[in-house]
Structure formats: C-alpha cells, structure tokens
Amino acid sequence: MNHFGSFEPASNAADWAEAISVTDADTGTSWPLATCLIELELRDQDGARRLHGSTADGALTLTPTGFEFAFPAASMRGLSAGSYTVNIRFTDSATGFVAEPVIAELPVLEGGFR
C-alpha cells in the first residue's frame, strides 16, 4: 500500500471517516497489522499538527483487511477550509520496522452547519 495523492474532500462541519485496505502489491494479500501501531496525523500548510489519532488511543481501529478511522465533527470544526497533509505511519513492535505508506492531501471544505 502506497498512497500519494489526495483523499476525497471533507467538511469541517461533519465527521471525517475512512476505511483503508492494506494489501501487499505483489501478492494481493492483507498485511498482518496485529503487531503494528498505526498513526495518522493531519498537518496544515505551516507544518503544524492539527489532528492526530492512533490504534493506541482508539481513533484508528484494525479491520480484517486494514484499518479505519473517524474524526468527529467536533474535531473537524477546529480546521479552516484549505488543504492539509495526511501522514500515516506503521510501526511494527515485533520487528521495529517503520513505514510511512501514506502521504496525501486532504481538501477541507467550509461546512454550513457549524
């Protein structure tokens, strides 16, 4: 899984939730994530971290084929409309292997129900 590009736009007045499949490009099988800490951060154009979540704090949860996350509208309301960088990092506690397979942009749109 390598993702460099963009997520679909999200509203700053609603929940932002995604389910991400994590598969080996060569074999098509799911990566074993049971021993991985998965972290997601959202940074603004000045590099300041605006959102963060992980499997350790429950913001990200493992699924049979990858993981999913949800940031509630209350967290999204703190974001101004604009473009943000999303970084996702895996740290395998069994092997020490660290990967950052996702570096992407998230367009945040001004929501109406704030």
Q: What pLDDT, in 10s, does the model give residues 43-60? A: 999 999 999 999 999 999
Average pLDDT over residues 77-81: 96
How high is the pLDDT of residue 23?
Answer: 78
Q: Which pair of structure tokens corresponds to residue 40?
A: 């997601």
How high is the pLDDT of residue 27?
Answer: 82
Per 3-state DSSP, the chain is made up of helix, strand and coil in percentages (nearest 5) of: 5, 55, 45
Measure the CA–CA gap between 76 and 16, rounded to whole angstroms: 7
The more confidently predicted of residues 79 and 66 is 79
C-beta separation of 105 from 6 below 8 A = yes
Q: What pLDDT, in 10s, does the model give residues 83-109? A: 999 999 999 998 989 988 888 999 999
Measure the CA–CA gap between 77 and 5, rounded to whole angstroms: 24
C-beta separation of 51 from 71 below 8 A = yes
